[in-house]
Amino acid sequence: MLFLLSTALVSPAHAGGLKARKALPDPVHDVRLGSSPADVRKKHSSADPLEEESADFRKVYLENTIGHPTVRSVVYYFDADLPGNPLYEVILLFRDPAVRDQVALELYGPPNHEADEWRLPVKGADWELAVWTHHDKLIVAAQMKGTEWEDGVD
């Protein structure tokens, strides 16, 4: 059974890890890690498959967030091999890296891994949440068993 990460974050400083809430910022605060592509598309119908970016082990979807003030687009990674093709990674491309950094700080608190990354336990899940930034991106990955991040993110 896959654990679905719902959408309201409790401060990462809470002992015992995150409650299953708000791990993803606006405009995808309503998306749950562990969801199927069909479930994500029910809420984000403009998320379309990117066959040229997909691989044997994952399915890639892209959502252009036209009109959103801070996020240009969102990339979703679904596992291609696990039952239900669970969503295990979301990449948000921000218009301004300074805004991205502020959003990450508000959601996750100060980085707790390396100088600019987060590793956050999730209550009730057998995986951690890994979060990091790269250029204009905020990457949020569930280290779920059977996915490319099963053994951790380095």
Quick: pLDDT tens for 62-104. Answer: 999 888 999 999 999 999 999 999 999 999 999 999 999 999 9
Quick: pLDDT tens for 2-36. Answer: 333 333 333 444 345 554 446 899 999 999 899 99
The radius of gyration of the chain from alpha carbons, rounded to an integer in Å, stands at 14
Which tokens is 94 given? 């921000």
Amino acid 154: pLDDT: 72
> DSSP string of 87-137?
EEEEEEEES-HHHHHHHHHHHH-S--BTTTEEEEEBTT-SSEEEEEEETTE
Top pLDDT among 13 and 144 is at 144
Quick: pLDDT tens for 97-140. Answer: 999 999 999 999 999 998 889 999 887 788 899 999 999 999 99
Amino acid 122: pLDDT: 80
Where are the alpha helices (H) located in 13-88, listed in sequence order? 37-43
Amino acid 77: pLDDT: 97
With bands split at pLDDT 50, 70 and 90, how would you rate the model's confidence at 45? very high
Q: Looking at the predicted structure, is the pLDDT value of residue 152 above 90? A: no
- List CB contacts of 83: < 8 A, sequence separation 6 or more: none
Cα 80 from Cα 63, distance rounded (Å): 19
Amino acid 17: pLDDT: 58
- List CB contacts of 52: < 8 A, sequence separation 6 or more: none
